[in-house]
Amino acid sequence: MNLIFDVHLDLSLNAIEWNRDLTLPISEIRAIESGRTDMKGRGLNTVCLDEMRRGGIGLCVATQIGGCMKPRGPVACWESPSQAWGMTQGQRAYYEALCDLGEMSLITNLAQLDAHLALWSDPVAAAAAKAPIGYVLSLEGADSIITIDYLETAYAYGLRAMGPAHYGKGRYALGHDQVGGLPQGGEALIRKMDELGMILDVTHLSDACFFEALDLFSGSVWASHSNCRALVNDPRQFSDEQIKLLIERDAVLGAVFDAWMMVPGWIRGTSTPESTGVTIAHIADHIDHICQLSGNTWHVGIGSDLDGGFGREQSPIDLDTIADLQSIEGILKGRGYDEDDITAIFHGNFLRVVRKAWA
């Protein structure tokens, strides 16, 4: 089993806002939620810590998320920056509690990273021993950064990556569903990220904000959970022009498993995995496309976003839990990818970005 570094999981959102105890087995979480209809994906969740271990996902990027976008975003959206900050601090406290329990381990520097990779050098043995899952802390959407000074506070407690936008009109950047460039304050935020040595996550940025941000930022870049617009024509995806620019910056894009981003023609509220026939193999189409644009396998990884506001009702038919990400290996081998390619896609490429940022 190959180690997977999943660079986008909204674990604290699931725990704090949706009241899921991720230390429980997946069957128990589903049973607790059976019959509930307050949100999509109730009783159909795919992620818990034991399933991450079973699937060799010993390392992840775990998010904080709390915005105050206008119009109101679909998840984790508050009326003021102070409320949003409060939510993200509750999420941080949740991760810290999991660290105290030995379930997770915060990684903020290369020494910690190397020690954790040694712990997970045999993912099967690590899973059997219930080794802690390592996480790099990221913030999805910058609205909770009350003033730029708060970014220094966040960096001090371990924040190492950030995406300035989510949905809607953010305080520092516009989301992919908007048209326009960086609002007032956006440039200063991105320059501060650069100064601190943070990783810029360009996922969710409007097209204009994307190009402006890359012009301003000189540090390490990734797109934690983004697929290809050439295959699914939607502003949430990246165009070939954007992907080529990311390749030039030695960035990596994380393949995302939200079904509507995997196959064209998905109609929200109507389509189902069964009606569209979406399977895990469809993600290989997006991986292939990025590899063809780059001429190698160095610029794509996994950023599953599983349980990021959806569950099995909006996931590939053949994905029951996050452990099924391991099946990507056989799919890629069937398309001619070798062991080195798969290792790069499963964890090596995103580790390269982290090492460069933290060198």
**Cis peptide leading into residue 264 (ω within 30°):** no
* pLDDT on residue 253: 98
Query: Global pTM?
Result: 0.97
**pLDDT band for position 354 (cuts 50, 70, 90):** very high
pLDDT digits (tens, 9 = 90+) for 109-147: 999 999 999 999 999 999 999 999 999 999 999 999 999
Residue 135 sits in a domain whose CATH number is: 3.20.20.140
pLDDT digits (tens, 9 = 90+) for 282-329: 999 999 999 999 999 999 999 999 999 999 999 999 999 999 999 999
Q: Given its phi and psi angles, is residue 130 left (phi above 0), alpha (psi -120 to 50 degrees) or beta?
A: left
Residue 199 has φ and ψ, to the nearest 5°, of -90, 130
**pLDDT band for position 11 (cuts 50, 70, 90):** very high
pLDDT for 70 beyond 90: no
Three state DSSP letters for 12-28: HHHHHHCCCCCCCCHHH
In the structure encoding, which two tokens stand for residue 8, read together?
């986008």
Can you tell me the distance from the alpha carbon of 168 to that of 175, in angstroms, rounded to the nearest whole number? 5
pLDDT for 75 beyond 90: no
Can you tell me the distance from the alpha carbon of 311 to that of 318, in angstroms, rounded to the nearest whole number? 13
In the structure encoding, which two tokens stand for residue 97, read together?
């509690």
* pLDDT on residue 72: 79
Closest alpha carbon to 134 in 158, 162, 164, 163: 158
Closest alpha carbon to 26 in 65, 55, 3, 67: 55
pLDDT digits (tens, 9 = 90+) for 91-113: 999 999 999 999 999 999 999 99
Contacts of 163 (CB under 8 A, 6+ apart): 138, 139, 140, 141, 142, 200, 201, 202, 203, 204, 205, 224
Mean per-residue pLDDT, 348-359: 98
**pLDDT band for position 266 (cuts 50, 70, 90):** very high
Pairing state of beta strands 104-106 and 133-140? Answer: parallel
- Domain of residue 298 covers 5-358
* pLDDT on residue 268: 87
Three state DSSP letters for 272-285: CHHHHCCCCHHHHH
How many domains are contained in the chain?
1
